[in-house]
Structures are given as structure tokens and as C-alpha cells.
């Protein structure tokens, strides 16, 4: 087995957690897969996989090697797709990262339609509030809120999301409904910290055409958007986030909009992907489809 085949096998084993599943997927005997990994580990001089009777998991060295293998195999796949004569239907694995709310409320309701358009693509979707290293972790593209700050990535704007400040009826009954943005400073908020560790306890309102920040206190801090909204529903304080995240809760009366007559700044949403001289066909078709989905959803 040559190096590329061994790398492909290794990636399949890590992602499936099984020698047998990986061997079956590649249509090779399990003994061949075992021997190939042994030879790979021998050549590299490190143990890549920890094997038990129940599961197979990568060692720390194996995790690092897996990330690089995913990246290298994707680059090879892209290069072949670009020059392959008559290649009109992209194929291969497409790795996408996006926030859970975007996956659940915007993208996944239409994902079967994407599969019907691109049946040869296998989609790997990851979600979370952790900032993923696209290049290092072999991710093809990611949907991110806010102005992109990574110069190594290309950004395509998807939409501007309308934001809302809201709180539970019980909290507002206890603390009072603010009538002016200045009153926000005396209220509690649910604090949020992102992947970079910075804690945000501010609320933003547009006054005379300029966005002003109002610092508030809070006794609970979370790093997950679902927990953020749930804390607000439980009366822990005010939150500020894109309206579509909490639209059902607002409609049901579980949350109440605060200062509805004062505009809030919109939050831009981008899809970002690593810089390459030629955008791979599999990424291009997904980006085009994603752009159309957000245009139809209209989160502004």
C-alpha cells in the first residue's frame, strides 16, 4: 500500500473509530488494513492509534497526523477535480463548520435538496462555539458571525442579521422594563465568552446613527448559544443575539423584546474558506447553494 492509500486508510479509521469499518469502506481485508497501519507507524517511528477491544482512537501524535492527512488529501482531491476532463459533478468529502443554530434553523431544513443536487458529495458538518482552525483541522469552509479577522481566509458575505435584546417576563417584572438605553447599565445580563476567552457583558443600541455599548453586570457566564438563550428564559438576565435564534421563544412569550423602538446594530454573517489559487468545485457548489439559502431565509 502506497503512502496516499495508507493516509486515506488512517483517516477512515480515525473517523469511523474502527479498523473493520474503514477496511470495508475501502473494500480491503481487515488484515491488510492492520498491516498497513503497522507499517505506517513503523515508518514514522510513533504510535498513531490506541487500540482496545471496544474502540480505536488516535494518540496525540495521531491526532496531529490526522489533521495534516485530511488537509493533504483534500488538496489532492481538489487538484484532480480541477483538471479532470468532463468532471461536472463534484465528488468527495466536504467538511463544513457552523454554529448549531444556523445548522438547525437555516441549513439542515434544506440539506436533502442539496444532496439531490450534489449526490456524489459526502458532507461532514461540525457545530459549536469553538473557533475552528480551518487549515490546521482540514475544514473546507465555515459560517461565522462578525467581521472576519483572519487574513489567511477568504470571506463571502451571506447576510446581515437583525439583533434583539430580550429577557424573560419574570425578569422584567422583577427588574422593570427599561425605557431608555441608559437604563441598561442597571440591569443584569447573561455573560458570554467565546473561543478567545473574552467575556462579553455589553448590550448594543444604535443612537443617532451610532452604535453605543452599555456595560451591565451579571452573575452567570456561558459559552454556548443554546445555554445563553436558556439562561434568559430562566430569568437570569438580558441577552442580545440575532432575532432568528429566539424568534419562537418571542412568539410564545417565553422571552420579551427590550427597547423595541430603539434600533440594534445588525450582525454580519460570512462564510469563510482558506485561500487557494483555484476554489475547488466541491466547495464552490456548496458556497453557491449556501448563499442562495440565506438569501431566501432573509435574516435581516
Residues with Cβ within 8 Å of residue 264, at least 6 apart in sequence: 162, 163, 164, 165, 204, 205, 206, 240
Q: How far, CA to CA in Å, does 74 sit from each of 91, 92, 110, 216, 289? A: 11, 9, 25, 46, 20
Pairing state between β 267-274 and 221-222: unpaired
* Environment class of 30 (CB within 10 Å of its CB; exposed 0-12, middle 13-18, buried 19+): middle
Distance, CA of 94 to CA of 181 (rounded, Å)? 44
End-to-end CA distance of the chain: 53
Backbone angles phi, psi at 116, to 5 degrees: -70, -30
Q: Identify which of 298, 3, 2 has the alpha carbon closest to the alpha carbon of residue 162.
A: 298
- What is residue 17's three-state secondary structure? coil
- DSSP, res 131: -
Record the cell numbers describing residue 57, joined without a space. 482512537
- What is residue 54's three-state secondary structure? coil
Distance, CA of 99 to CA of 217 (rounded, Å)? 26
pLDDT at residue number 278: 60
pLDDT at residue number 234: 97
pLDDT at residue number 136: 65
Q: Tell me the average confidence (pLDDT) per consecutive run of 10 residues in the chain, 300 residues long.
A: 89 86 85 93 93 84 88 76 64 89 94 95 85 76 89 90 97 97 97 80 96 96 93 98 95 98 96 76 92 89
pLDDT at residue number 88: 63
- Domains, the chain: 1-86 (1.10.10.10), 89-159+267-300 (3.40.190.10), 163-265 (3.40.190.10)
pLDDT at residue number 84: 63
What is the 3-class SS of 225-272, one letter each residue? HHHHHHHHHCCCCEEEEEHHHHHHHHHHCCCEECCCCCCCCCEEEEEE
pLDDT at residue number 203: 97
Beta carbons within 10 angstroms of residue 180's beta carbon: 10
pLDDT at residue number 77: 73
pLDDT at residue number 169: 98
Distance, CA of 233 to CA of 228 (rounded, Å)? 9
Indicate if the alpha-carbon torsion angle 126, 275, 272, 79 is positive or negative.
negative
- DSSP, res 180: S
pLDDT at residue number 52: 78
Amino acid at each position: 500500500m502506497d503512502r496516499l492509500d495508507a493516509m486515506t486508510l488512517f483517516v477512515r479509521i480515525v473517523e469511523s473509530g474502527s479498523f473493520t469499518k474503514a477496511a470495508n469502506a475501502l473494500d480491503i481485508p481487515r488484515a491488510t488494513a492492520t498491516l498497513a497501519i503497522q507499517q505506517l507507524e513503523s515508518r514514522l517511528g510513533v504510535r498513531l492509534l490506541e487500540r482496545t477491544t471496544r474502540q480505536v482512537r488516535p494518540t496525540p501524535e495521531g491526532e496531529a497526523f490526522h489533521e495534516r492527512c485530511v488537509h493533504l488529501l483534500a488538496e489532492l482531491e481538489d487538484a484532480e477535480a480541477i483538471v479532470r476532463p468532463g468532471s461536472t459533478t463534484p465528488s468527495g468529502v466536504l467538511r463544513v463548520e457552523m454554529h448549531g443554530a444556523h445548522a438547525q434553523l437555516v441549513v439542515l431544513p434544506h440539506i436533502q435538496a442539496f444532496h439531490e443536487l450534489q449526490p456524489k458529495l459526502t458532507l461532514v458538518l461540525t457545530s459549536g462555539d469553538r473557533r475552528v482552525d480551518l487549515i490546521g483541522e482540514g475544514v473546507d469552509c465555515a459560517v461565522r458571525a462578525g467581521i472576519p479577522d483572519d487574513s489567511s481566509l477568504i470571506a463571502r458575505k451571506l447576510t446581515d442579521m437583525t439583533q434583539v435584546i430580550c429577557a424573560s417576563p419574570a425578569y422584567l417584572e422583577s427588574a422593570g422594563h427599561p425605557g431608555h438605553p441608559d437604563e441598561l447599565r442597571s440591569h443584569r445580563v447573561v455573560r458570554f465568552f467565546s473561543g478567545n476567552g473574552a467575556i462579553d457583558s455589553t448590550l448594543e443600541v444604535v443612537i443617532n446613527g451610532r452604535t453605543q455599548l452599555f456595560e451591565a453586570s451579571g452573575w452567570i457566564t456561558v459559552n454556548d448559544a443554546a445555554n445563553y438563550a436558556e439562561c434568559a428564559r430562566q430569568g437570569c438576565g438580558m441577552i442580545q443575539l440575532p432575532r432568528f435564534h429566539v424568534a419562537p421563544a418571542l412568539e410564545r412569550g417565553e422571552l420579551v423584546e427590550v427597547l423595541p423602538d430603539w434600533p440594534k446594530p445588525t450582525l454580519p454573517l460570512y462564510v469563510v474558506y482558506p485561500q487557494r489559487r483555484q476554489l475547488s468545485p466541491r466547495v464552490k457548489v456548496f458556497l453557491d447553494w449556501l448563499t442562495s439559502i440565506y438569501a431566501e431565509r432573509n435574516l435581516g
